[in-house]
Amino acid sequence: MSGCCDHNKNFDGMSADYRRILWWIIAINGGMFIVEMLAGVAGQSQALQADALDFLGDSLTYGLSLWVIGKSITTRSNVALFKGYSLVFMALLVFAGTIYRLFVANEPSAVTMGTVAIAALMANLISVWLLRRHKDGDANVRSVWLCSRNDAIGNVVIIAAASGVWLTNQAWIDLAVAAFLALLFLNSAWKIVKQANEEKQAHLQSE
């Protein structure tokens, strides 16, 4: 039915089921941030560290999404804007780290990259599956879906990069993936900020 929450672009998260899903996803992302950051540092993989930062950002933004449920449109839109700009900040961090690693080109561990990326992919596929009925909604709800989708895409790319590093022993593949993830963050940030601004404008015009 087009009016139910899974197809309603006006869905604001006011659902006990959606709140429960957010708690599960916050726990999954928080745990994977710790695992992936430790593995990224140990395995000298910029791509894993970039993806770990994404997990951390997701945990924080999902917490905001949970808090903002039931608040005014202005508050929800402002929180969505904050989430969009935080993605821009993370993208800049990843770009900076990638540029630094260009001059400190230690070869990442392909085995560590591949193993951890597979575990992260499983975690993100669980999140995507949990959110499958809530991928449409206001800017906050939409941002949760986009972040989870980005994570799954990023993990697939990191697995491919791990294969490339293993076959070629070239560190630049890892750095290229990190740069790709940064661009993915920027793309999602643009979508979130655009929708949040549209919602704010629509609310102001309706008053």
41-76 pLDDT per residue, tens: 888 777 777 778 778 877 877 888 788 787 777 787
Measured CA to CA, the distance from residue 133 to residue 15 in angstroms comes to: 12
CATH 1.20.58 is right for the domain spanning 16-206:
no
At 23 the pLDDT is: 92
Residue 45's Cα: distance from chain center in Å? 18
Contacts of 97 (CB under 8 A, 6+ apart): 46, 49, 50, 178
Annotated domain spans of the chain = 16-206
Is residue 143 a contact partner of residue 80, using CB atoms and an 8 Å limit?
yes
Residues 76-127: pLDDT tens digits? Answer: 778 778 878 877 887 787 777 666 665 655 566 777 777 887 888 898 899 8
Q: What is the dihedral of CA 19, 119, 151, 86, to 10 degrees?
A: 80
2 has pLDDT over 60: no
- Average pLDDT over the chain reads 77
Residues above pLDDT 70, as percent of the chain: 84
At 98 the pLDDT is: 66
Measured CA to CA, the distance from residue 12 to residue 18 in angstroms comes to: 10
Dihedral sign for Cα 20, 22, 23, 25, please.
positive
Measured CA to CA, the distance from residue 138 to residue 174 in angstroms comes to: 35
Q: Helices 73-103 and 46-68 sit at what angle, rounded to 10 degrees?
A: 170
27 has pLDDT over 80: yes
At 24 the pLDDT is: 92
Residue 7 banded pLDDT, cuts 50, 70, 90: very low
